[in-house]
Structures are given as C-alpha cells and as structure tokens.
Amino acid sequence: MSTIKACIFDLDGVIVDTAVYHYKAWKRLADQIGLNFTEHDNELLKGVSRVRSLEIILELNHVTKTAEEQTELATQKNNWYVDMINQMTPAEILPGAKEFLEACRAAGIKTALGSASKNSSTILAKINMAHLFDAIVDGNHVSKAKPDPEVFLKGAEALGVSSAECVVFEDAIAGVEAAINGGMKVVGIGEPAVLNKANIVLSGLDKMSLELLHRL
Ligand code: BG6
Ligand code: MG
C-alpha cells in the first residue's frame, strides 16, 4: 500500500512554460541598460527568485547596482512580464498537467502548488486551473528560496500531510534539491542528466500516472 497522500507542483516549467516570457522581459531590461543576457544565461534563472535572478544577471556582467536601483529594475522587468502573462490562455497548459491533477483529485490525492513566483495567482487564473489546487504556496508566502524546502514544507502543512507522504514535481535543479531537503520524493520534469537527484525524471506530466506515483 502506497503512503503517498499528496502531490506538490512547481508552476513554471511543470504546469506552464513561462521561461520564454521571463527571458523576453529580462532580455528587454538587459538591452535597455546595456548588459549581455542570452537564452543560455536564462537557464540559470529557472526556479530562482526575481531578486536573485537580477543579481545573477548583474554578476554575469560584473556590474553592481544599489539596492534602490535593483528594486526599480526588478519592478520594470516584472511589469513587462505581467503584460505578457496577462495574455496567457488555457492553451498554454503543458501536455498532461491538467489531466494528471484531475486524476489525483479523483483518487483522493491532495494537490498543492509550490512555486517561487509571486505571479502564480495571475497565471492560474489565466489558465483556469486555480480550482485544481487544495493549497497554493508561492513567492508571496516564503522567505527562503529553493533549494530551501520552505515552500514545499508549507504546502505539506497546508494540506495536513507529512513530508514522507508527498511527491514534488519540479523542473529546476534548485527545486529538486528543495524537495529532497524537505524529505520528500521528487519527480523531475526535464532532462535526466540535469535532474539526476530526482527519484525519476519524465519529459512531462503527460508521462505521469497514478500507477507510477504509487510505485515511487
Ligand atoms: C520561478 C521561475 O517559478 O519563479 C523563475 O522558475 C522566476 O524563473 C521565479 O524568477 C520568480 O517569478 P516571479 O513571477 O515572482 O518574478
Ligand atoms: Mg520551475
């Protein structure tokens, strides 16, 4: 008999692919202030908070900015990002994501969101999936970024389950580590070579099933 009672899902890269919008907004900012920023660099920002993302871009360019300037730049990037996510539709839900959440709920498995993003409520409303989560924990509710397990531990607490009863779904290395640090099982969504600390790695939630969940 499986002990799994809950699934906790990262948002960006697991439910929707917003990395391209994050990239476009950071790229526009970098161009505006004369910094280099490539799609390759964008990989380093996956799963990382907005504030830390800006720090990484500045570090890559050996540039420093005051705290005030950083707040202004991050706000400008977010305004452009929000303009883009406001145009999102349910057509952008990644294959299998909605179906797997529905299957979990039908089987009595609880579901939570565990995301670093402070924009998760906007995205979930646009893709019409908010009602599929029993609990939502995002960047507005945590003070420690992944790989700290805070976001997932708060998700488990909100669902009333223990860490050992949870499976996390994550596309970022920092997120996989956060799940492990929280004592949870983790399904990596992406490349096995990159997410090699996960219990299993799948190309997407369309490859996931309740049967696989109970075999973890
Ligand atoms: C994560 C993304 O989900 O959210 C990161 O993978 C992003 O790339 C982070 O920086 C914070 O997002 P937001 O929406 O609060 O700027
Ligand atoms: Mg992610």
78 CB within 6 A, ligand 1: yes
Is the distance from CB of 55 to CB of 73 less than 8 angstroms? no
Q: Report how far residue 123's alpha carbon sits from residue 154's, in angstroms, rounded to the nearest whole number.
A: 20
pLDDT attached to residue 64: 96
pLDDT attached to residue 1: 53
- The answer for 129, left when phi > 0, alpha when psi is -120 to 50, beta otherwise, is alpha
pLDDT attached to residue 134: 98
Q: Report how far residue 190's alpha carbon sits from residue 204's, in angstroms, rounded to the nearest whole number.
A: 7
Distance 58 CA to ligand 2 centre (A): 22
Q: Which helix (H) or strand (E) holds 202?
A: strand 200-202
Q: Does the active-site annotation cover 171?
A: no
Residue 175 reports pLDDT greater than 80: yes
Give the C-alpha distances (Å, rounded to integers) separating 168 from 31, 40, 74, 187, 198.
36, 26, 28, 6, 10
Q: Is 148 helix (H, G, I), strand (E, B) or coil?
A: coil
Instruction: Provide mean pLDDT across the span 73-91.
Output: 98
Instruction: Provide mean pLDDT across the span 12-30.
Output: 96
pLDDT attached to residue 43: 85
Amino acid residing at 159: L
Instruction: Provide mean pLDDT across the span 97-102.
Output: 98
Tell me which ligand sits closest to the C-alpha of residue 123: 1
What's the whole-number average pLDDT of the chain? Answer: 96
Instruction: Output the residue whose Cα is nearest ligand 1's atom 1.
Output: 47
pLDDT per residue as tens digits for the range 118-128: 999 999 999 99
Q: Report how far residue 118's alpha carbon sits from residue 47's, in angstroms, rounded to the nearest whole number.
A: 12
pLDDT per residue as tens digits for the range 42-71: 988 988 899 999 999 999 999 999 999 999
Distance 53 CA to ligand 1 centre (A): 8
The secondary structure of 36-71 as a DSSP string is ---HHHHGGGTT--HHHHHHHHHHHTT----HHHHH
Q: Does the active-site annotation cover 12?
A: yes
Residue 93 reports pLDDT greater than 60: yes
> Pocket of ligand 1, candidates 16, 17, 22: which has the most ligand atoms within 8 Å of its Cβ, to mutate?
22
Residue 163 reports pLDDT greater than 80: yes
Instruction: Provide mean pLDDT across the span 103-128.
Output: 97
Instruction: Provide mean pLDDT across the span 81-110.
Output: 98
Instruction: Output the residue whose Cα is nearest ligand 1's atom 4.
Output: 117
pLDDT attached to residue 57: 97
